[in-house]
Amino acid sequence: MKSKWIVLGIIIILLIGAGIFFWNPFRSQQPEKITIGMTYIPNVQFAPWYVALEKGFFKEEGLDVVFDYRMDIDALQLVAAGQMDFAIAGGDQVITARDKNIPVTYLMSLFAKFPPSVIALSESGIRKPADLKGKRIGLPLYGTNLLAIKAILNRAGIPESDVELIDIGYTQIPSLTEKKVDAVVGFANNEPVKLRASGYDVTQINAWDSFSLVGHGLITGEKQLRTSRDTIAKMVRATIKGMQYTLDHPEESLAICFNNLKELGPEQQALEKQVFMESLKLWESDYTKAHGLGTSDPKAWEDSQQLMLDMGLITHRTPIEKLVNFDFLK
């Protein structure tokens, strides 16, 4: 008998709660909640977004932005499934994903230059691609890093059989310093900075000299392109504003980054400052100088896709309008 009333009471409470939630008169005035899948741990490379948040660029556009720091691939697929609004991914990742019929599209670039780099200790004498012949190169044997070394070798006319590619996961720095391999494939704004800070003299063969594609940038899914064009425009605008501000006020922007990275001690902050400065160099290329921050060359996309097709990394071509959408950068 008594339990009947308890159940009724619970139902009533739930109904009231639902009512408050759904028919909240103030709801429409609240900013849109947006999630960006950052695909990496919080770090200084995300400066434009930290700045946009701090400086109110998001607020101006009426966006309430949440950073989701889960790792890597999952974010891209969640965006494709419509469960996440945006993510940060590389141009090559978009091409690979589209090859698997995963519907994501590139909106704007953060790294205008393709960031991977072949790094070696100076004493090894490796200065140009030809020096890699007969050497052991360590890298995670898939994705962006693999593409980079293949492109470099391809451009230099060196058959893959002339080098030894070894899977080392993400242990580039210790693998190099412990001399387990002769060279590693890392990112230009990351490992070289850290190695030099530790006192090692290193040389770099940068992938952007062999491969014209853009690096990491903002992506979204086909579904979002159909239903939320407004939101996308706002996000791109705010991000570009954030990028520009960072380029114009690097010191202040760095301080804003550190506010978001409270676990960094003074030593690490000095290191991250270097990473930050190196990263900024990658945000601009000749093309962006001519056409604006965040833009990318359709020809670079086509050429890169062709190269990936030739190297057997993808199985078919995806039309460029599916790969990248330039509408929001006008």
Interface with other proteins (CB under 8 A)? 72-73, 76-77, 80-81, 93, 96-97, 100-102, 138, 140-143, 146, 166-171, 174-175, 178, 180
Assigned token pair, 62 = 């009426």
Query: Smallest gap, in angstroms, from Cβ of residue 184 to other proteins?
Result: 11
Residue 55 is which amino acid? K
Nearer to other proteins, 96 or 228 (CB): 96
Nearer to other proteins, 47 or 89 (CB): 89
Nearer to other proteins, 164 or 303 (CB): 164
Cβ atoms within 10 Å of 106's Cβ, excluding its own: 26
Nearer to other proteins, 135 or 273 (CB): 135
Query: Smallest gap, in angstroms, from Cβ of residue 86 to other proteins?
Result: 17
Query: Smallest gap, in angstroms, from Cβ of residue 1 to other proteins?
Result: 40
Nearer to other proteins, 112 or 183 (CB): 183
Query: Smallest gap, in angstroms, from Cβ of residue 35 to other proteins?
Result: 17
Query: Smallest gap, in angstroms, from Cβ of residue 16 to other proteins?
Result: 32
HEC secondary structure over the chain: CHHHHHHHHHHHHHHHHHHHHHCCCCHHHCCEEEEEEEECCCCHHHHHHHHHHHCCHHHHCCEEEEEEEEECHHHHHHHHCCCCCEEEEEHHHHHHHHHCCCCEEEEEECCCCCCEEEEEEHHHCCCCHHHHCCCEEEECCCHHHHHHHHHHHHHCCCCHHHCEEEECCCCHHHHHHCCCCCEEEEECCCHHHHHHHCCCCEEEEEHHHCCCCCCEEEEEEHHHHHHCHHHHHHHHHHHHHHHHHHHHCHHHHHHHHHHHCCCCCHHHHHHHHHHHHHHHHHCCCHHHHHHCCCCCCHHHHHHHHHHHHHCCCCCCCCCHHHHECCHHHC
Nearer to other proteins, 73 or 158 (CB): 73
Query: Smallest gap, in angstroms, from Cβ of residue 99 to other proteins?
Result: 8
Query: Smallest gap, in angstroms, from Cβ of residue 76 to other proteins?
Result: 7
Nearer to other proteins, 63 or 225 (CB): 225
Asked whether the beta carbons of 116 and 188 are under 8 A apart, the reply is yes
Distant-in-sequence, close-in-space partners of 6: CB < 8 Å, separation ≥ 6 = none
Nearer to other proteins, 166 or 277 (CB): 166
Query: Smallest gap, in angstroms, from Cβ of residue 81 to other proteins?
Result: 5
